[in-house]
Structure 1
């Protein structure tokens, strides 16, 4: 047996202490960008909406949630106005015609800064027509935007990237994603790097990042996010929780972990323990167990084809200087992923691109999951040194994102490298996932385990997770 393969298996069995796996720096997001504001460069009024971005908090087929910010607490109540883009409407019509519907936004104070966060959901949308919308009030409106309808059939496209930040590469990647016109984008953690070193304060970093997102991506592209270590910010993600609108549930009322379905794919998004100080780690582990068990049952019944999990942290990596700093959590997550037959694990964190073979418990396994690390979203590229042979199918170190073309029983993926100077893209990797056979899908139908059966000591698990999170903040 290859000694390095043996080392990997021992790592997954928890054979090394977290203290021996200190993590090195996470890159640099301090390069400022001079971005035009949403009004096209004119001075922005405190009542003008900024940082406009879209997500699905409810049904992806019939709703869109819009989040934005204003700086004047005395401004009139904020509203979302929306309606269908009819086939006979011109672009001029889209801008000037009245809207069919309006909803008053839910407004809250933006943490740590004198600003307001607004969220509103457009519901009961026609499935076959684009949506045009604007947000704001009579004291200031955003531009009217038009977004495509969500596909109602089996076929759709999404992209996956992580570790974005505010560099020129960040802008190039966002522009390239927008040009690809996916049905949604999945950002696997470390969004703005507001907890990193910068000449700006943390909240100003969030504001600058949302300016970039609105200008290049978020106002016309659905953005679904997973929390990363840089969303922790030392305050357990208060700023992230306020600014992002993800699906909520009784076990995750602020949407830090969640699930949604599009086409015949079930998506489950985890924090990977990024917010362990809020006492929800046990709840989230049980959420993964129950949601994956349910998805595996539905897949065996032919209701869905694939199970996709996304989080910030990797299970497998050849990133130089990296390793699973919380081995207990890594081993527990992998146990759950393999038990219920996760097909794809979409992650970030390590600033490289790496695609695994199907893996399970330290071995290549045709019934295991494929991990795609896409941590080259813009904040920086770190050193790459292949050291574990046999598990990695492809490795790259350049700005990029992954496009997934989903059809019935099949996912074709194209990894797009993004040139740092020109922003031009080229395909640098391709791969295909096919639906599991009936026998393989049936093997993943397993009874849900209770909390005690999953792990004997959750206090210890939480302590080790908190230790890992402190390391990440101290070294990133």
Structure 2
């Protein structure tokens, strides 16, 4: 697909339908969720929804109950729903600081919450990683598990709510769409997302038919992302938290399996990825590089298998810069690879292993966050979808741990210190909190 199409879409993908509130509503704010800005130490966006337009939406922020700072609010509608989404971006914050906030509008009940900015210097922290959630009992249980584990942030790799069940194919038309599902999902995650930033990106189910040329308009109506990624692709971004550089990609641009948006950025995403990883690796405070996107680079599950288009474009870049961990979803299961380099495992890393992540990249499929589990993984033979869309059989020697179950991954990161390497311990927990996997990545 030509670069000219990318230029044509650059504005259309991000232009919101601005909503001028004509009156007051007694409905309280709901679906409150947080997103870091490009500088996670100093910027936070607070977002929420109301069932209709409201008068004088406002956010106040401060370090104590006195609050003291009023933040401008942008409000937008979205296709085929009367819900209005509100976003307030708070800038000039202090690193490593806990803030209170209060959301109000005229005639409506207020909502309050807290958040903490990223630290100025590397400190130990925890983040969650997962995708493929939906609105269901397992997903709700995972929100409770999040609150119990108390991560500092969540890295969510697409297929968030399934408002368009066609999965980017457009098959079935409007009958496959229920955009009110977004509101149900935002209310479901609010117990976690109102205090813990959820850093999300798109999966194939965010390619919603009728929601803009790329299908992302509905997602972008509801999330205000850091905005420092590929030009023309606001769903891409990066940020640093403590000693970890996070990079969020649009896997739909590179996918061979579901090719609706394949190639819409030309080579721009690849060039940006290469440059951003080089910059992060040169940062003396960054130990680990974590990249997230939806489609699987390595997965044995027979429903979607592995995506050869992404392998061909991005695996050499991951190898070049020594990416430590790649987080994917798409297949509804848990799966972890051995450390990989140049398409082959370089060392065995079973449960409980401690591995030097400088030797190879670990690929994690964490797609068990709520949707129906795919019980078809872990076999000696699976397939990769090549760049022509053909399913090519391949041996699954890359796979270390395969669990066909609902689960979330939690990663405990410790910066390097005198005489001790930096570590990132991955623990996968089933819905009831049972541990199904553990591995420690070490660098330095």
Alignment of 1:403 onto 2:423: no
Select 1:392's aligned residue among 380, 399, 403.
399
Distance in 2, matches of 1:435 and 1:315, equals 22
Partner of 1:180: 149
Partner of 2:181: 205
Distance in 1, matches of 2:81 and 2:158, equals 23
Q: Any gaps of 5 or more consecutive residues in structure 1? A: 1-43, 86-93, 420-424, 437-476
Report the more deviating stretch, 278-287 or 400-409.
Answer: 278-287
Partner of 2:267: 282
Higher strand residue share: 2
* Pair 308,350 (structure 1): closer, same or farther in 2 beyond 3 Å: same
Partner of 1:228: 203
Q: How many residues align?
A: 371
Partner of 2:428: 415
Partner of 1:140: 108
Higher helix residue share: 1
TM-score normalised by structure 2 residue count: 0.78
What SS does structure 2 have at the residue aligned with 1:144? strand
> What is the CA distance between 1:141 and its match in structure 2?
3.8
Say which one has the larger Rg. 1
Distance in 2, matches of 1:211 and 1:304, equals 34
> What is the CA distance between 1:359 and its match in structure 2?
0.8
> What is the CA distance between 1:217 and its match in structure 2?
1.6
Partner of 2:321: 340
Q: Tell me if the contact between 1:64 and 1:122 (Cα under 8 Å) persists in the aligned partners.
A: yes
Partner of 2:225: 246
Deviation per CA, 1:297-331: give whole Å up to 9, x if none.
33xxx342111111111100110233345x33431
> What is the CA distance between 1:281 and its match in structure 2?
4.4
Report the more deviating stretch, 144-153 or 131-140.
Answer: 144-153
Partner of 1:61: 41
Distance in 2, matches of 1:112 and 1:46, equals 22
> What is the CA distance between 1:273 and its match in structure 2?
2.4
Partner of 2:362: 370
Select 2:287's aligned residue among 305, 309, 318.
305
* Pair 52,429 (structure 1): closer, same or farther in 2 beyond 3 Å: same
1:5-404 correspondence to structure 2 within 5 Å:
47-73=27-53, 75-85=54-64, 94=65, 98-154=66-122, 155-196=124-165, 201-214=177-190, 216-234=191-209, 235=211, 236-249=215-228, 251-252=230-231, 255-273=234-252, 276=261, 279-298=264-283, 302-324=284-306, 327-365=308-346, 367-386=359-378, 387=380, 388-404=395-411
TM-score normalised by structure 1 residue count: 0.73
Q: Which has the higher contact order (CA 8 A, sep 6+)?
A: 1
Deviation per CA, 1:14-48: give whole Å up to 9, x if none.
xxxxxxxxxxxxxxxxxxxxxxxxxxxxxx95643
What SS does structure 2 have at the residue aligned with 1:312? coil
Report the more deviating stretch, 197-206 or 383-392.
Answer: 197-206
Q: Tell me if the contact between 2:303 and 2:376 (Cα under 8 Å) persists in the aligned partners.
A: no
RMSD, aligned CA: 2.4
Q: Any gaps of 5 or more consecutive residues in structure 2? A: 1-23, 167-173, 254-259, 348-358, 381-394, 416-421
1:393-472 correspondence to structure 2 within 5 Å:
393-408=400-415, 409-419=422-432, 425-436=433-444
Distance in 2, matches of 1:48 and 1:289, equals 44
